[in-house]
């Protein structure tokens, strides 16, 4: 099963076999054999592959995880936001090593915003974000363009571009945001 994980992590990082070989010091043919399940790497080789993927060996082997299922109870969610901007959020997923996606629920008060036009991008290169407006209306400002969104509308965009959400209405707005980190643009 390690081969499937290596391939998925390599592809999600937009690395070719040669790129990973160069970064890890493990030959491209050996990585290819591992990915296809034709050979099992030694711990030393697996550690070098993990380093090439910028992971610890325990992350690559999923030793840091408790199992295949992680439950985050409503009272255990990480919370944050900026009260001055009328923004609150809850991260609904667990922060696990090697996790490639994060789901959060945002509340924007009337006139509130998640950021400002001059804020730098806060997501890693290649990240994509999908947002679903649950209640109310919001405006996505992405790379200088404005997109009005109403209840039930869903938008997907390159999250490594400067962006923020605004609530121009007189009532609270709620939206879910899913950020997929380091995925290739299509």
Look up the CATH superfamily of 2-60. Answer: lambda repressor-like DNA-binding domains (1.10.260.40)
What is the mean predicted confidence (pLDDT) over 177-185?
A: 70
Give domain limits for the chain: 2-60, 74-180
Q: What is the mean pLDDT of the chain?
A: 86
User: Whose CA is closest to 8, among 34, 44, 42?
Assistant: 34
pLDDT of residue 65 exceeding 60, the answer is: no
What is the mean predicted confidence (pLDDT) over 64-80?
A: 71
Which pLDDT score, from 0 to 100, does residue 108 have? 96
Q: For 12-53, how does the pLDDT look when each residue is reduced to its tens digit (9 = 90+)?
A: 888 999 999 999 999 999 999 999 999 999 999 999 999 999
Query: Bigger pLDDT: 157 or 63?
Result: 157
Is the whole-model pTM more than 0.95?
no
Q: For 85-106, how does the pLDDT look when each residue is reduced to its tens digit (9 = 90+)?
A: 899 888 888 766 556 788 999 9
Residue-by-residue DSSP string for 102-171: EEEEEEE-TT-BSS-TTPPP-S-TT-EEEEEEEES-EEEEETTEEEEE-TT-EEEEETTS-EEEE--SSS
Which pLDDT score, from 0 to 100, does residue 186 have? 36
- Give the confidence band of 66 by pLDDT, cuts at 50, 70, 90: low
Reply yes or no on domain 74-180 having CATH 2.60.40.10.
Answer: no
Q: For 120-166, how does the pLDDT look when each residue is reduced to its tens digit (9 = 90+)?
A: 667 777 788 999 999 999 999 998 899 999 999 999 999 888 999 99
Which pLDDT score, from 0 to 100, does residue 124 have? 75
């Amino acid at each position: 099963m390690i081969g499937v994980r290596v391939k998925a992590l390599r592809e999600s990082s937009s690395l070719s076999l040669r790129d990973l070989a160069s970064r890890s010091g493990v030959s491209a043919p050996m990585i290819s054999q591992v990915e296809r399940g034709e050979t099992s790497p030694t711990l030393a080789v697996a550690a070098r592959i993990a380093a090439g993927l910028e992971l610890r060996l325990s992350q690559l082997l999923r030793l840091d995880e408790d199992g295949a299922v992680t439950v985050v109870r409503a009272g255990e969610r990480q919370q944050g936001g900026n009260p001055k901007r009328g923004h609150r959020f809850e991260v609904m997923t667990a922060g696990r090593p090697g996790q490639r996606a994060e789901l959060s629920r945002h509340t924007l008060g009337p006139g509130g915003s998640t950021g400002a036009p001059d804020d730098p991008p806060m997501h890693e290169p290649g990240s994509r974000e999908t947002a679903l407006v649950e209640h109310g209306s919001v405006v996505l400002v992405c790379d200088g363009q404005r997109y009005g969104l109403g209840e039930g509308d869903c938008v997907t965009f390159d999250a490594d571009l400067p962006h923020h959400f605004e609530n121009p209405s007189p009532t609270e707005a709620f939206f879910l945001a899913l950020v997929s980190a380091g995925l290739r643009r299509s």
